[in-house]
Structure 1
Amino acid sequence: MARAKSSDRRRGPVMRTFVRLAQIGIGLALIGLIALVVMVAVARSELPSYTDLKNIEQGQMIRVRAVDGAIIQEIGPSYGRWLPSAEIPAVMKDAMISIEDRRFRSHLGVDPKGMARSLYFAWQNRDTDRRLQGASTITQQLARTIFLNNSYSVGRKIREAILAMAMESKFSKDQILELYLNKVYFGGGAYGIDAASRKFFDHGATNLDLGEAAIIAGLVKAPSNYSPTADAQAAIGRASVVLRAMQDTGVISPGQAAATEPADVALAPEPPQNSVRYFTDWALPQLDTLIDETIQPIDVWTTVDLSMQRLATAAIQSNVPSGAQGALVSMENDGAVRAMVGGSDYVSSNYNRAVTAVRQPGSSWKLFVYLAALESGYSPDDVVTDEPVQIDGWTPRNSGGSYAGPMSVRNAFAFSKNTVAAQIGNELGFGTVAGMARRFGITTPINTHPAMVLGTSEVRLIDMTRAFAEVSDGGRAIEPYGITKVTTIDDEVLYQRRERTGAPLVDDYVAASMTDLLQTAVNAGTGRAAQIGRPAAGKTGTTTSNKDGTFFGFSSGLTTGVWMGRDDAKAVGGLQGGTAPARAWAAFMKSAVAKRPVQKFDTDVVLPDWQLEDEDDAYFGAPEGGDFVDEYGLPVEGNPPTGDGQLPQQDAPVLDDSWIDRALGRGQRKPDPQPAPRRPEAVRPPQPKADERPSEDGQDELIY
């Protein structure tokens, strides 16, 4: 008896402690509940009206405009027609509820079972980077879509839950589902089921069938991964998961699920992408440096001229050789890009060869050779000698091995005499030529072997076009650009480009003399196919075995560059700078400048009193014996040894900025008032290694 009383006395304090803790817990729970109710009530009072919520749009819309203001591309959110609940197909509602929130009709904004499951999942994966999953109801997702962001934090989840309960207390289930289905993001820029249906199936959402509804419902989890336009198989696989969920919840029968095959759903074809996308793909990344990040809808006013863009596309497509690609860039003297074609067809290949690809320019590189010569004292009428020459074992040659003897600098340039260019480069120093190229905006590596005067260094089309435009602008620096103004849709100016005066790169007389040479090349030289019935200046370029053909030129303040070739750098039969590229240039420029005033150059064209061989004879595909040669004139036995058409690489001195600075530090001399030929002291070019030195009978095949 005494032992029992002692036991009762011991249980008394324990029971009292338990009761006290229970009371504290209940009290805290009540306080928490009251606080939750207060927070939900406050949030409810601050919620916009249902009408206001319908009118809220999220995400930034970007409208890209051409130079005349026409909209050429829309980027960002797309909202279809708002569908009232009564017009939303039942299969769409059932599909969304089944896959995203099975207890949507019964919970109060948050799902306790779902939260418990997610907390268990989080505990099981506490030592990993996996996030809390499965706890967001449709109402929570709607709250996040309208009021919050997708950043992951406990605080955001709490705010999301409070807003969801506030919305549940203010709006009906049908209203919440209507908001959700009209606002949730489905990928591809589409917000709401109507926009998604139009994008993916090419019809509105009022007549969605079961398979289509399953595809759309499956997108919410990961729009980028499951978008039919990004990965059709992933979208189909996810739709099958939705159908099984619908069967599990009883909204469709097993027979309906089995009879519905998502793979049979007809997807809308992607809208055709015309060539202006090459331009916008290049121009829009410039926004990052022009304006601060904004979520406001904006208009981006660009430099592209749609009529010129159409002309450029037609010129490339109608002239590019079969199996080859073509690219074109056209810009004003201030650098405003009016047209850009990065390939023969944007739909089949969006790779932008106008600004990304690096290819050898061939003899169009001689622009820099002769600019350096003119700056160093040569004049267009100076006499040079076209004769056999050997430079450190390298022997360049002309067409058919013929030589014209004494001739003017003007004619040597017009007929793209390799031997003369090689002599000038050797006399001035190949570093001087490279420095001139750097000065005119060439950013890619430049080798300084003797054959560099014939264009063995790879360049970008837009950079070479810029260099010719700088000559057209009197030798002043320009920067290619594509955006002139950025405004909000309320016309608030966020960015306005200011006119800029470029720094002089060479003296005016050098640019004028270079233009003299360039117009002779068009009127009487290798660029005759580029004549357009008004003053024009330009230069052709053809590389080893006809792998690349280029033409660069300007007229009436517009400069255009054209490249043609294969992406794998294999030879293209008959491709020469003076044929297809020059014809494409002429076809484009003739119409592009038709309404512009005719502008004469500073000097009248001086035609030679004799002609060389026809254009076809000015090019050759292989030296005697049918062998190929590399860029240094070294014979290559048989066909080019690699499958991609690339010749063996040799270790060439590559010019870096410090080397260029040293090269440009040498004094330059201007011509006397009565210029006589002045020749700077020859600078010995960098020597190749002993085992790489070209043989004495090596011949160059990179031309003109």
Structure 2
Amino acid sequence: MARASSPRTRPTPAPRWRRRLMFTVKAGMVLALLALGALITAVYVARAQLPSFESLKSSPNGQMIRVHAADGSVLVALGPSYGEWLSYDRIPTVMRDATIAVEDRRFNSHLGVDPIGIARSTMVRLERGRWVQGGSTITQQLARNIFLNNQKKFGRKFREWILALALERKFDKDQILELYLNKVYYGGGAYGIDAASRKFFGHGADRLSLAEAAVIAGLVKAPSNYSPTADADAAKGRAGVVLQQMVRNGFISQGEADRADPGDVALAPPARQNSVRYFTDWALPQLDLLIDETVKPLEVWTTLDPAMQRAGDAAIRANVPRGAQGALVAIDRDGAVRAMVGGTDYVSSIYNRATQAQRQPGSAFKLFVYLAALEAGKTPEDKEIDEPVTIDGWSPRNDSRRNSGEVTLRTAFAYSLNTVAAKLGQAVGFQTIADMARRFGITTPVNTHPSMVLGTSDVRLIDMTRAFASVANKGVAVTPYGITRVTSDGEVIYTHEVDRSHVLVAPYVAAQMTDLLQTAVNTGTGRAAQIGRPVAGKTGTTSSNKDGWFLGFSSGLTTGVWMGRDDARPIAGLHGGTAPARAFAQFMKSAVASRPIEQFDTQVTLPEAQLEPDAESYYGAPDNMSFVDEDGGPLDDGPRAPPPAYGENDPGFGVERPVTPPSRQRDPGPPPDDGTERLDQDWLDRATGRPPPPPREQQRIPNRPTATPQ
């Protein structure tokens, strides 16, 4: 009899949560394997794309710029600086150990990314609520410095990990450390240990002591905070931390750490920042307009003459009044800037008063008044009446509080008569004068009030110097420039070309203006600017002696000098004809010494005043300290010296005063019947030895065109 079979027992199904867990684990394992495969693939793809070791050694970390003077000497090296590349075996052991101890103590054991370091950094982040430790290995830092940036984003961090792993697959540990120590940034523009060692200690990195190595290794965390030149105490304190890390990791003993006192480290003196930096700060920003290269190292060749720069610096320092600032610009006939001094000390103030400061020029602005008058048909021998004048309620006055009657324009310009300048401005039009100033390169706004003829509009020294240079260049525009050529990798990528085609005024107008400017130096307010060869120029002084100017030219070189206080407070005794004119003369005597003497188209016979004072020194006021309001009216400022017989006072920003009379004087001629010397045209002709001018109808101006140029 057959036996009936029992039904099969079914296994109890697993709980649903366990099934889901197992699925999740398996899916996670699959995803992890896929991620690992993707990571390995990404690492080896990145490894294949990495440059060679030699290529990485030669690639720069930023654009380096070396600036050369006109003679080829290096003025300054800007941007990142690199020292000598040190191979691994030439890097001192103490430098290698100090870096590993403070930056990545498991450098020799990890694969490029340190999971322990990442975990520690994350824990600190959770404890303190902010990132304190980065957890980056030396290899990661190298990858970031060469290929990435410092953005704190996960995407950048992930790419950093990939590159770090790839670097470890392509290069050995010694090569990675060699690259790191030669390329990492240590502050102050120094990349690599050799550049840092030379900057901070004055010698190469192959001679680093333990204490010096600790100082440099401590800079990587925060170069600006721990820089020895910025905060020596902070740098030495950080070096002490590095030494203790070296002890903790077994690189040195405690005794060695104690003997290596960072406080005994001798720092190299910082490089002196001289006035050359005023020039380079002005010239180098122009590279953005001249070239497109922003990566490759550049060699920039400039117009600066080192000897002239030293002479200009010395002239400003020697003559600027105490508590004041001074600036100087020297421009060659083609526009090449040969010297630029923007202040008395670049270290204490990088503000460039030669190119940035806007100050009122006083009577120096009369250059444009007389240029407009000459272009309108006036001549230096034309006569005007020096008499009281009122224009739209404005009444300018001369410094002497007197008027001299009929004088030539030459006399009026030489002694900067305000009444005559005002009448000329009214005759030719104040808008015409403003247009003339802009034509000659004044880039700041020019007002058209009647007092503008006395220099009430702010100008820049470099613009005024440019204008005088264009007069010296026979009326052809001169554009200042500082860069002659730029090379990169031996290839010329920019060359300056001088434009000599822009004519501003007719040659005869420029020649007549030069005639007037010569007279101002030979017998007028600019006598202190004489240098023993033909010179043409003009002084400028503003109200209350706030600004002093002298601008002039000789032998193809035009120089402008300004002096004053940055806060525009008055300076006792400051006039354009004193300190600025003396600084001009001191500079120009040196600057043009090797140049041939050049005569101007219109020559003025130099009076004996070069050896003995002329009558302008008798009757001029060395410093009567008189003040005027914006309308030219006198201000009661207490007792003052008797008014001079002649001189000038630019009301509301135009005070000019002659030099102090020396003891020896010569007789300018018989006095007038009333016993008072009258400084009229007859006297000026006698003083200069100039024959009386012929009647107007007999005067001839050579090569003068029949039509006024537009």
TM-score (norm 1): 0.81
Q: Distance in 2 between matches of 1:430 and 1:409?
A: 18
Q: Distance in 2 between matches of 1:297 and 1:146?
A: 17
Change (3 A) 1:406 1:285: same
Q: Does the 8 Å CA contact 1:383/1:407 hold for their aligned counterparts?
A: yes
Change (3 A) 1:436 1:50: closer
Deviation at 1:221, TM superposition (A): 2.8
Q: Does the 8 Å CA contact 2:523/2:616 hold for their aligned counterparts?
A: no
Task: Find the counterpart in structure 1 of residue 685 from structure 2.
Answer: none
SS in 1 for 2:308: helix
Change (3 A) 1:183 1:395: same
Change (3 A) 1:384 1:234: farther
Task: Find the counterpart in structure 2 of residue 389 from structure 1.
Answer: 389
Q: Distance in 1 between matches of 2:592 and 2:366?
A: 26
1:28 has 2:31 as partner: yes
Q: Distance in 1 between matches of 2:636 and 2:103?
A: 67
State the AA in 2 paired with 1:62: I
State the AA in 2 paired with 1:212: E
Q: Describe how 1:278-297 pairs up with structure 2 within 5 A.
A: 278-297=278-297
Q: Does the 8 Å CA contact 1:411/1:608 hold for their aligned counterparts?
A: no
Task: Find the counterpart in structure 2 of residue 337 from structure 1.
Answer: 337
Task: Find the counterpart in structure 2 of residue 275 from structure 1.
Answer: 275
How many equivalent pairs are there?
633
**Sequence identity percentage:** 64
Task: Find the counterpart in structure 1 of residue 681 from structure 2.
Answer: none
Q: Distance in 1 between matches of 2:271 and 2:89?
A: 31
Task: Find the counterpart in structure 2 of residue 617 from structure 1.
Answer: 620
1:65 has 2:68 as partner: yes
- CA-based RMSD of the aligned residues comes to 3.5
Q: Deviations over 1:232-260 (max 9, x none)?
A: 56545654654565566565678887887
Task: Find the counterpart in structure 1 of residue 496 from structure 2.
Answer: 497
Between stretches 231-240 and 189-198, larger displacement belongs to 231-240
SS in 1 for 2:552: strand
Q: Does the 8 Å CA contact 2:524/2:616 hold for their aligned counterparts?
A: no
Q: Distance in 2 between matches of 1:7 and 1:451?
A: 112
With a CA cutoff of 8 Å and minimum separation of 6, indicate the structure with the bigger relative contact order.
Answer: 1
Task: Find the counterpart in structure 1 of residue 529 from structure 2.
Answer: 530
Q: Does the 8 Å CA contact 2:397/2:632 hold for their aligned counterparts?
A: no
Task: Find the counterpart in structure 2 of residue 101 from structure 1.
Answer: 104
Q: Does the 8 Å CA contact 2:541/2:575 hold for their aligned counterparts?
A: yes
Unaligned stretches of 5+ in structure 2?
1-8, 639-651, 653-695, 702-710
SS in 2 for 1:287: helix
Q: Distance in 1 between matches of 2:339 and 2:117?
A: 55
Between stretches 90-99 and 100-109, larger displacement belongs to 90-99
Q: Does the 8 Å CA contact 1:111/1:137 hold for their aligned counterparts?
A: yes
Q: Distance in 2 between matches of 1:415 and 1:175?
A: 76
Change (3 A) 1:375 1:208: same
1:562 has 2:541 as partner: no
Change (3 A) 1:454 1:87: same
Q: Deviations over 1:248-295 (max 9, x none)?
A: 656567888788775664432211223222111110010011111421
SS in 2 for 1:614: helix
Deviation at 1:414, TM superposition (A): 1.0
Q: Distance in 1 between matches of 2:38 and 2:433?
A: 78
Between stretches 183-192 and 248-257, larger displacement belongs to 248-257
Q: Does the 8 Å CA contact 1:119/1:132 hold for their aligned counterparts?
A: no
Which entry has the higher C-alpha Rg, 1 or 2? Answer: 2
Q: Describe how 1:94-493 pairs up with structure 2 within 5 A.
A: 94-116=97-119, 134-150=134-150, 153-232=153-232, 235=235, 238-239=238-239, 242=242, 265-490=265-490, 492-493=491-492
Q: Does the 8 Å CA contact 2:395/2:633 hold for their aligned counterparts?
A: no
Q: Deviations over 1:169-218 (max 9, x none)?
A: 34433332232112211122211112101101223334444553343223
Q: Distance in 2 between matches of 1:635 and 1:249?
A: 82
Change (3 A) 1:98 1:672: farther
Q: Distance in 1 between matches of 2:632 and 2:124?
A: 69
Task: Find the counterpart in structure 2 of residue 9 from structure 1.
Answer: 13
Q: Does the 8 Å CA contact 1:545/1:621 hold for their aligned counterparts?
A: no
Unaligned stretches of 5+ in structure 1?
640-649, 651-670, 677-704
State the AA in 1 paired with 2:161: A
Q: Deviations over 1:621-671 (max 9, x none)?
A: 433xxxx434443566659xxxxxxxxxx9xxxxxxxxxxxxxxxxxxxx9
Deviation at 1:468, TM superposition (A): 0.6
Deviation at 1:120, TM superposition (A): 7.0
State the AA in 1 paired with 2:96: K
Q: Does the 8 Å CA contact 1:144/1:150 hold for their aligned counterparts?
A: yes
Q: Distance in 2 between matches of 1:73 and 1:609?
A: 46
Change (3 A) 1:387 1:338: same
Deviation at 1:331, TM superposition (A): 0.8
Deviation at 1:557, TM superposition (A): 2.1
TM-score (norm 2): 0.80
